[in-house]
Structure 1
Amino acid sequence: MIVIVVGVPGVGKTSVINEARKYLKYEFKVVNTGDIMFELAKEKYNINNRDEIRKKLTFEQQKEIQKEAIKRIKEMEKESDIILDTHLVIESYEGYIPGMLREYAEILRPDGIAVIISDPDKIFVRRLKDIQIRGRDIENLKRIEIQQNLTIYFTTIFMFEYGTIVEVINNEEGLLEEAAKKFAEFLNKLKESRLNK
């Protein structure tokens, strides 16, 4: 079983995933698409960090390493259930690009997608903190809102194309525990429905 977790940078996907682990009834392996892509890009293109993937590689180069990453993730599903931390929409130097093309979605065929959302104002503040910690770029509120809306839009395509079950989880400031519980409940129910088939 593969469950994708998506959201714009700074929304708190990783925090929600980590916090939810204590509420899970089943074992899941957490995999980050960006981490696998970084390892591949480091080997092939001498990239030094994950942000350089979107800043220095062309869309074609990104697609090439993403396809290899997706194949590796699908192989991992044979060993354990996967929580896939990724993005459906990426802002690159060329503009917005898909975080997952249809051919890669065809490979993965996720059972579920959790969309983590938050107020763009709060995301903006989190990103300002990330500038100092992780060297992220400054963006404006409107672009955050556009990227979040595009992410939700692309999620609906999975619903209609693959019958993927989708949950939207609001990760507001100070309510991480609540978001984590909702995410864990989504995973637990999804797993139970698969076991009862």
Structure 2
Amino acid sequence: MSGKRVVITGVPGVGKTTVIDASMKRLAEEKIPYKAVNFGSCMFDTAKAEGFVEDRDQMRTLDKDIQKKLQKLAAQRIGAMEGNIIVDTHASVKTPAGYLPGLPEWVLTELHPDTIVLVETDEDQILLRRIGDESRKRDAEGSRSIVEHQQMNRAFAAAYAMMTGCTVQIVRNENFLLDHAIDAMVTVLR
């Protein structure tokens, strides 16, 4: 395996994909190529082909054994890729049964991350972004739930770092300060 592996995580609505896309554009201008892979899309493609779901928002309601199987298959596909790879995913997934690790041992073993990045911002900003995003069907959550989820993501990221020896970075994606988030992300990705 060659290249850098960076796992970028964040709660739904934090704007991680926006930060990733803008950072990749800036890195391309610097001739530093990266391929971004959405872990959930890899899982969803498999789940849909197997008849488990019809839309992406149904993924978090699947039985945990099915989710584990889908995680393994997606990790194997991504782990086989060459070059600098960004894995756009979630550190944890909130399910009816509790928080499910987004990167359990069998996923980390395949991905071999160099760095895990947590994209974060204040819970009120996330709430407003979710309300404004009509393209997704998300469970209603209050600010306390978002704070808890971001705290759980930090705990999961620390555990992942302990398992792999990778570093953990936090990138803040504040409203009206996207350029600051991009600067911080590009620094991590260089």
TM-score scaled by length of structure 2: 0.92
Give the number of the structure whose residues are more often helix, by fraction: 1
Query: How many correspondences in the alignment?
Result: 184
Q: CA RMSD in A?
A: 1.2
Match of 1:114 in 2: 117
Q: Percent identity?
A: 36
Q: Distance in 2 between matches of 1:177 and 1:23?
A: 11
Asked whether 1:37 is paired with 2:43, we answer yes
> What SS does the aligned partner of 2:37 have?
strand
Q: Distance in 1 between matches of 2:99 and 2:167?
A: 25
Match of 2:25 in 1: 22
In structure 1, the gaps of 5 or more residues are: 189-197
> What SS does the aligned partner of 2:175 have?
coil
Q: Distance in 2 between matches of 1:30 and 1:10?
A: 18
The one-letter code matched in structure 1 to 2:36 is: V
Could you tell me how far 1:148 is from its partner in structure 2? Answer: 0.4
Asked whether 1:66 is paired with 2:71, we answer yes
> What SS does the aligned partner of 2:24 have?
helix
Is the 1:128–1:138 Cα contact (8 Å) retained in structure 2? no
Match of 2:176 in 1: 174
Do the aligned partners of residues 65 and 144 (structure 1) sit closer, same or farther apart at CA in structure 2, a change above 3 Å counting? same
Asked whether 1:92 is paired with 2:98, we answer no
TM-score scaled by length of structure 1: 0.89
Is the 1:23–1:181 Cα contact (8 Å) retained in structure 2? no
Do the aligned partners of residues 180 and 48 (structure 1) sit closer, same or farther apart at CA in structure 2, a change above 3 Å counting? same
Is the 1:127–1:138 Cα contact (8 Å) retained in structure 2? no
Is the 1:6–1:87 Cα contact (8 Å) retained in structure 2? yes
The one-letter code matched in structure 2 to 1:135 is: K
Where do residues 140-159 of structure 1 align in structure 2 (5 Å cutoff)?
140-159=142-161
The structure 1 segments of at least 4 consecutive aligned residues displaced by more than 6 Å after TM superposition are: none
Match of 1:192 in 2: none
The one-letter code matched in structure 2 to 1:156 is: A
Where do residues 120-135 of structure 1 align in structure 2 (5 Å cutoff)?
120-130=123-133, 132-135=134-137
Q: Distance in 1 between matches of 2:162 and 2:52?
A: 38
Deviations along 1:134-191, one digit per CA (max 9) or x if unpaired, are: 2222111111111101111111123322221221101011111110111011100xxx
In structure 2, the gaps of 5 or more residues are: none
> What SS does the aligned partner of 1:115 have?
strand
Q: Distance in 2 between matches of 1:172 and 1:53?
A: 28
Could you tell me how far 1:103 is from its partner in structure 2? Answer: 2.1
